[in-house]
Amino acid sequence: MEAQKPNNTQKANKAVSSNVRGIKNAFLVICACAVVAVCLFIFVLGADSNFENGHPINLLGTIYKGGFIVPILQTLFLTVIVLSVERWIALSSAKGSGSIPKFVANVKAALNANDIEKAKELCRKQKGTVAAIVYATLVKYDEMDKNTILSKEQKLATIQKEVEEATALEMPSLQQNLPIVATLTTLGTLVGLLGTVIGMIKSFQALSASGAPDSTELSTGISEALVNTAFGIATGAFAVISYNFYTNKIDHLTYAIDEVGFSIVQTFAATH
C-alpha cells in the first residue's frame, strides 16, 4: 500500500493537458483535396453520360464546361470544408468534457471558498484548454503562497504572468489552420473571378468571329464564366462563415480564461 502513495500523489499533481486534436500539416490536406477534385472533374463531371454530341445535357456536364479553373475551385472549396471540420473537432476537444460557463462558475466558487485543491480537481475533471491554463495558474498560486521572499505585488505579477504565458502557449493550437481559411475567403473569390474573365473572353471571341456567331462557343464561354463565378462565391462565402464562426468560439474560450485568471489574482490579493 505504501508503494502506491507516491504514484497517487504524482497522479494528483500531474499537469492538465489541453489535448487539442488537429491537423498539423495543412499542405497535405490541400494536396489530398486537389487529387479528389481532379478525380471528380475527370471521372464524374466529365463522364460521357453527361454529354450528347459533345454538348452537356445536365448540370454536371455544364460544370465540366467551366474549364480548368473548376478543379482549382473545387480544391479550394474542399479544403475549406475539411479544415472547418478539423477545427470543429479541435475546438471541441479544447472545450473539455463539460460546459465552460459552468466550469468557470465552479472554479470561481472554489476560489471564493479559498479551496485551491478543489479548483485543481475541477480542472482535472474538465480537461481542455481552459482547464489546462487555469491549472497551471493554480500551481503557480501554490508556489507563490509558499514563497516567503517575494513581496505581495511581485507574487501577484508572477501569477498574472503565468496566466498570460499559459494562454500564449495554448493559442497557436486553437488558431491553427484558421489563417488558411481566412486566405481562402479572398483566394476563392479571386480564382472564381479569373474563371469568369476567361469565360467572357471566350464568349467575345465567338462574337467577334467573322460571319454568324458560333452559338456553341458563345454558350460554352458564358457557362464557363457563370460556373466559375458560382464556385468562387460559394468558396468565399463558406470560408468567411467558417472563419468568423471559429474565431467567435476562440473568443469565448479566451473570455473564460481571462475571467478565471482575474478571479485567481483577486483571490490571492484578498487572502494574502
Radius of gyration from C-alpha coordinates of the chain: 28
* Residue 121 falls inside a structural domain: yes
SS3 51: strand
Instruction: Quote the pLDDT of residue 98.
Output: 84
- Domain span at residue 100 reads 93-271
pLDDT in tens, 134-158: 999 999 999 998 888 999 999 999 9
25 inside domain = no
Residue 241 lies in a domain: yes
Q: How many domains does the chain have?
A: 1
Percent of the chain predicted with pLDDT > 90: 55
Residues in the chain: 272
Comparing CA positions, the residue from 230, 206, 225, 250 lying closest to residue 100 is 250
Whether the predicted pLDDT of 78 surpasses 90: yes
> 114 lies in a domain?
yes
Look at residue 45 and tell me if it is in a domain.
Answer: no
Task: Give residue-wise pLDDT tens across range 110-131.
Answer: 988 888 999 999 999 998 899 9
67 inside domain: no
CB 108 within 8 A of CB 100: no
